[in-house]
Structure 1
Amino acid sequence: MRKLRMKKLMSLLLALTMVLAFAACGTEETNKSPDEGSDLSYVKGNGKLIIGYTNYEPMNYTDENGVFTGFDTELATLTCEKLGLKPEFVEINWKTKEVELNAKSIDCIWNGLTIDDERKAAMEITKPYIKNAQVVLIKEGTTYNGTESLIGKTVVAEQGSAGENTINADDNLKQASFVPKTLQTDCLMELKSGTADAAVLDLTLAKSMTGEGTNYEDIIIVDYLAEEDYGVAFRKGSDICAEVNKIFDEFVSDGTIAALAEKYGLEQAE
């Protein structure tokens, strides 16, 4: 009889122990540190910030000496120093940039990204740091009298870019034969070879890659269609964005962004 009572008591104690263990697990789950859902804590845990970019001079590119550099490259590196993180640059397909960001293949898109309402709804974007515009480029000697000159002509722009959005927003350019390209530099190659009549590209790239002393000396800017600003994009709700904004404020105050903008022939955002 005593043995039976002992067995019952042991069973009761075991059951009670399991209940308490489950309760503790539930409490632990409920009382998780807020930092565990923090994007900043996530990247700090990895010790690095994975930066998505495309080959886009003067923002991120490899110079004639084989050195990876550019305005965004330098600014991102300086920002990572402030964050205590190692920058890791990963070349991406611009068309799938948001997919890669949300899949955590990259932690941000830092590559002359135009700020617009659609992107702000889908991603966390910093305050503007550089001014830009969408411009029309043609081969020297080609007649151009506004975008109406391009009705029925072949026009190229980077797929998924502000250039493509500008074409879709222009009544005349919508009547052109639009051919999307993977990179803005591909658009310049199409112009040079004569397989495209015009391109709509970022002013920042167009200024640095065309004209005297470049591989595209015969490509000229003939029109300005849309003024815009660049920002850095993080995952929606990411707390890294606010930290980067604070660092940008410091870099504006101490002249860091202004000096880099001058170095790369860019205009700082207001």
Structure 2
Amino acid sequence: MKKLKMKKLISLLLTLTMILALTACGAKETGKSQDESDLNYVKSKGKLIIGYTNYAPMNYTDENGVFTGFDTELAILTCEKLGVEPEFVEINWDTKEVELNAKSIDCIWNGLTIDDDRKAKMEITQPYVKNAQVVLVKEGTEYNGTESLIGKTVVAEQSSAGEKTIMADENLKKANYVPKTLQTDCLMELKSGTADAAVLDLTLAKTMTGEGTSYEDIVIVDYLAEENYGVAFRKGSDICAEVNKIFDDFLADGTMAALAEKYGLELAE
């Protein structure tokens, strides 16, 4: 009887030992996965998943149905240097950080304004393009500074730099602010007369308004904030440093300047 109990005890101890060993092994494997660099993760897939929205002149489909833009071309050239294929995925700008952290995308490459809040949450490249937040109205609209818009309907893209600019301006805070999904939606609201003004990126405003565009009667009347664009990766991602090196090469060999000239943009200093 004692021998039988002893055998059961030994068997139980052996089973527990094996369970602990397997658990430890699993923990090590998990740790290895967690410690893997973001660059190795992307290279193992063979592609960089790029989150974007339809935003001319950065990422858009032209009149011939070709997907193009400054950021689109720059991303393709950068991926060649990284040795991976670019895969462009259209995202909801309002949930961009959620998608990035969930690894639905590997970066946000779409005229992303660099600010302290975003730098705290994501790994962002050096600035590469200048931008500003501008006020647009229908031609002929009387405008004497943001005070003119108190009580008026003002639109901007939700969670954008334009929205932040509105919230930071004492006069625009007193406007009837209506967030829209896309900056192009804001232009449509202005054109239809359902909005009195819009606060948008200068880069988009220059491309989408004026002679020869669908918004010839929309004009820029004010500059509110200057800013710079960067590409955002997951916090701590080592891809960011590699992309910065590639950007330096593109600045040195004139690639970046040629793209800026092609799309009517000004490079960051």
| 8 A contact 1:63–1:69 mirrored in 2 | yes
CA offsets 1:97-145 (integer angstroms, 9 cap, x no match): 1111111111110000000001011111111000000000000000000
Alpha carbons 1:36, 1:42 under 8 Å: kept: no
CA distance in 1, matches of 2:27, 2:115: 38
Tell me the C-alpha RMSD between the 2 structures.
Answer: 2.2
Give percent identity, aligned residues only: 79
- The runs of 4+ residues in structure 1 deviating greater than 4 Å are 17-25, 27-36
Instruction: Name the aligned partner's letter for residue 221 of structure 1.
Output: I
Q: Distance in 1 between matches of 2:34 and 2:241?
A: 15
Once the two structures are superposed, residues 23-60 of structure 1 have per-residue CA deviations (whole angstroms, 9 ceiling, x without a partner) of 58736854865895211111111111100000000000
- The residue that corresponds to 1:137 in the other structure is 136
Query: Which TM-score applies when normalising by structure 1?
Result: 0.91
Ranges in structure 1 where 5+ consecutive residues have no aligned partner: none
Query: Aligned pair 1:240/2:239, yes or no?
Result: yes
Bigger shift: residues 250-259 or 207-216: 250-259
Measure, in 2, the Cα distance between the counterparts of 1:148 and 1:24.
Answer: 68
- Compared CA separation, residues 95 and 24, structure 1 to 2 (3 A): closer
Show the counterpart of 2:219. Answer: 220
Identify the residue that residue 260 of structure 2 maps to in structure 1: 261
Structure 1 partner of 2:161: 162
Distance 2:92 2:65 in 1: 21
Normalised by the size of structure 2, how large is the TM-score? 0.91
Q: 1:75-112 CA distances to partner (integer Å, 9 max, x unpaired)?
A: 00000001111100000110111111111111110000
Could you tell me how far apart the structure 1 residues matched to 2:16 and 2:83 are? 43
Aligned to 2:100: 101
Which residue of the partner structure matches residue 24 of structure 2?
26
Give the 3-state SS of the residue equivalent to 2:159 in structure 1: coil
Aligned runs of 1:1-270 on 2, under 5 Å? 15=14, 19=17, 23=21, 26=24, 29-30=27-28, 36-270=35-269
Output the CA distance in 2 between the equivalents of 1:154 and 1:131: 28
Q: Distance in 1 between matches of 2:141 and 2:161?
A: 24
- State the AA in 2 paired with 1:108: C
- Aligned residue for 1:267, secondary structure, equals coil
Number of matched residues? Answer: 262
Q: Where does structure 2 lack aligned partners over 5 or more consecutive residues? A: none
